[in-house]
Amino acid sequence: MQEGIQLAGRGMTCGGCASHVVQAPQTVPGVQSAVVSDWTAGQATVVADAGLDEQTLVAALTAAGYGGTIQGRHPMREASAPEFFPETPEQSTTESCCVPAAHPITKPVAMARIANVCPECGQKGKPIDSSTVKAMLSMSLTQVRPVSYLFCGTTDCPVVYFSKDGAQTFTTAQVRERVHQKEPNGGDVFVCYCFRHTPDSIRAEWETTGRSTVIDAVNAGIRAGQCACDVRNPQGSCCLGNVRAVVKQVEESTVKA
């Protein structure tokens, strides 16, 4: 059983603040999601396991530099968890008061709702099947909500998956595989997860034989029906594009050397 908890947040002055207020409660165990429905009115809603301690929630907001009081709470069925979004996205994006240095995350929550962008880095995500998210998470799947998820492939962003409403993120630390896109220079990070090829293994073959058979090998595996990118590759889709890019990189660097 879950509860919807209405909060009156204090200190929110822009859409950037709203994204901080959304992130703060998510550090509290038992909180499923948090959304600012209207930052101009200081309205926020947190969906949490029933019985969550109000003081812990308020303390998390205070620690993030905002105040808040609980206005009400009501039981809700998990499947009907609402998707609340900030109003007036234009306002949120143009009237951001947040100074980047003080507020490293300034992408308004509303952006995530509009354009499927990652709430951390602001880059567009790629829709991903929830079966991939479930297969990849290294944590209890009670965190998975009945919403759409997207994959963030931005290299220097820690977020791997985020919910379409921008209220929930899963980071590299919460995923059971190291992610090629997040560590493009990690020689031992799989680029092909089904047949376990890495940049290092591709380079080793190249240095030994002067060629690469990895693309043929992956294609042969695909033809044999052996690949399972949807549950083995964090991006949830075929790795061939990434493998080609690594082969090209290896080729270019060895030609130069």
Distance of closest approach, residue 195 Cβ to Zn ion, in angstroms: 27
User: Contact positions toward Zn ion, by CB under 5 A?
Assistant: 118, 120-121, 152, 154, 157, 159
Quote the least distance from Cβ 156 to Zn ion, whole Å: 9
Distance CA 109, CA 120 (A): 10
Residue type for 215, please? I
Of 121 and 136, CB closest to Zn ion: 121
Nearer to Zn ion, 181 or 212 (CB): 181
Measured CA to CA, the distance from residue 153 to residue 123 in angstroms comes to: 9
Closest Cα to residue 117, out of 144, 157, 81, 87? Answer: 157
Distance CA 6, CA 3 (A): 10
For residue 159, the minimal CB distance to Zn ion (Å) is 4
Distances (CA, A) of 184 to 28, 134, 225, 249: 32, 24, 27, 11
In the complex, minimum distance from the CB of residue 153 to Zn ion, in angstroms, rounded to a whole number: 8
The least CB distance from residue 209 to Zn ion, in Å, is 38
Q: Are 1 and 75 in contact (CB under 8 A)?
A: yes
What is the Cα 166 distance to its own chain's centre? 9
Across the strands, what pairs with 8? Answer: 43, 69
Nearer residue to Zn ion within complex by CB, 120 or 205: 120
**Which is nearer to Zn ion, 84 or 161 (by Cβ)?**
161
CB closer to Zn ion, 52 vs 121: 121
Report whether 203 contacts 187 (CB < 8 A): yes
